[in-house]
Amino acid sequence: MNHVLILCRSVTQAQRGGMLLSRAGITNRIFRSPAGLTERGCSYSIRITPEHLRYAMELLRRNGILPVKVVAQGPDGYAEVNAP
C-alpha cells in the first residue's frame, strides 16, 4: 500500500482538509478522485501515506470534515478501508 485517498464531497472540503493536515505536519496532495471511486460523479481526494491515516482522520473529524470514503492503493487497484 503506497498511499491512502480520503475522498471529500467538494474541492473546498478537500482544500480545507489539506490545509489542516499540512499545519499538523502531514504531507498531502489534493486532486480529482480517480474515476469509479464514487457514485456521486466527481469528487476530490486528499492523498496521504498510510502511517498518517489514524491521526489525519482524527484531525478531520474534530474539525467537521467528514470524508465520503477512504480507499487504499493495493496490488489490484483501490480498495475501501475502514477509517480509524
Average pLDDT estimate for 65-76:
88
Residue of 63, 51, 43, 64 whose CA lies nearest to 25: 51
Domain residues for the domain of 46 are 4-80
Read off the pLDDT of residues 5-43 as tens digits, 9 standing for 90 and up: 999 989 999 999 999 999 999 999 999 988 777 766 678
CATH number reported for the structural domain that contains residue 38 in this entry: 3.30.70.1530
Question: Which residues, 6 or more positions from 18, have their beta carbon under 8 angstroms from its beta carbon?
Answer: 28, 29, 30, 46
Q: What is the pLDDT of residue 74?
A: 81
CA-to-CA separations, 23 to 61, 71, 75, 77, 79, in angstroms, rounded: 15, 23, 31, 30, 28
Domain count within the chain: 1
